[in-house]
């Protein structure tokens, strides 16, 4: 059975992630918030580290219920920085709370994010891992708009890794057994088009309706927003971290 080259041999958790989850289109707001958070948390680290801590993240961040996470206080942040079940990086923890608040400013996180790909998955035809780009026009547009709205840890490479994970793009290589399984059929595309006709997408690459001025943010959020880190993904880059924070991540 042929898998994508990035899947390590002999790692059941990685196999399960690739075989059952990666690249499967999702329109579930909770799951999308989870994957956006985990891809940001992975910046500068290995994805295997994040997979091992995934249940810890779900427990720490209320199973990625954005309404609950948005109510986290400074005390909650300090508590999470002592939790070995997650990556104990202050900027990453604070960004998750901030991003939950930004999610609540959207009518639908799913509609917003899927708007960047026209409501249906973009299907690659890559033969090798080296053919797959680290970022695309769509991920750059997503990153730019997310940052405009006040999200953090949403650089274009992080956004593209998120798009791959959540099925906004199918980047399984063509000879991977999952390529055909997650590629939408003509019937799927027709149903997606019908849904878009019934409920037009809001936001994203198709030209979002924006409020006048910047999105609403608290004074604390605005001060912290200046420290937004673009980060990296499984292929490149590290987040901007102090020496002390990098040392803390070693015990992640």
* Residues catalogued as catalytic: 17, 39, 47
Residue position matching structure tokens 């918030």: 33
Token output for 101: 């608040």
Side-chain half-sphere exposure of 204, counting CA atoms within 13 A? 22
Closest of 42, 149, 26, 152 to residue 86, by C-alpha: 42
Strands 122-123 and 169-170: parallel
Instruction: In the chain, count H helices and then E strands.
Output: 14, 2
Long-range contacts of residues 54-59, Cβ cutoff 8 Å, at least 24 apart: 55/85, 56/83, 56/84, 56/85, 56/86, 57/85, 57/86, 58/34, 59/85
Contact criterion met (CB below 8 Å) for 246 and 52: no
SS3 at position 249: helix
**Got the DSSP string for 130-147?**
GGS-S--HHHHHHHHHHH
Q: How far apart are CA 46 and CA 171, in angstroms?
A: 19
Side-chain half-sphere exposure of 212, counting CA atoms within 13 A? 0
Q: Is 151 exposed, middle or buried (0-12, 13-18, 19+ CB in 10 A)?
A: buried
């Amino acid at each position: 059975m042929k898998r994508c080259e990035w899947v390590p041999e002999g790692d059941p958790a990685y196999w399960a992630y690739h075989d059952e989850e990666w690249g499967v289109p999702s329109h579930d707001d909770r799951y999308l918030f989870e994957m956006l958070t985990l891809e940001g948390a992975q910046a500068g680290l290995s994805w295997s580290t994040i997979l091992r801590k995934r249940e810890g993240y779900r427990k720490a961040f209320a199973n990625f219920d954005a309404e609950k996470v948005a109510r986290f206080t400074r005390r909650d942040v300090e508590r999470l920085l002592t939790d070995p079940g997650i990556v104990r990086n202050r900027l990453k923890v604070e960004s998750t709370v901030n991003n939950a608040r930004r999610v609540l400013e959207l009518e639908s996180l799913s509609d917003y994010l899927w708007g960047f790909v026209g409501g249906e998955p973009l299907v690659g035809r890559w033969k090798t891992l080296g053919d797959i780009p680290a970022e695309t026009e769509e991920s750059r547009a997503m990153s730019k708009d997310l940052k405009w709205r006040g999200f953090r840890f949403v650089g274009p490479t992080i956004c593209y890794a998120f798009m791959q994970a959540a099925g906004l793009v199918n980047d399984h290589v063509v000879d991977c057994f999952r390529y055909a399984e997650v590629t939408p059929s003509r019937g799927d595309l027709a149903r997606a088009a019908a849904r878009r006709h019934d409920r037009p997408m809001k936001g994203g690459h198709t030209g979002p309706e924006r409020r006048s001025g910047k999105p609403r943010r608290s004074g604390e959020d605005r001060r912290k927003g200046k420290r937004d880190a673009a980060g990296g993904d499984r292929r490149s880059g590290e987040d901007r971290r102090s020496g002390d924070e990098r040392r803390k991540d070693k015990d992640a």
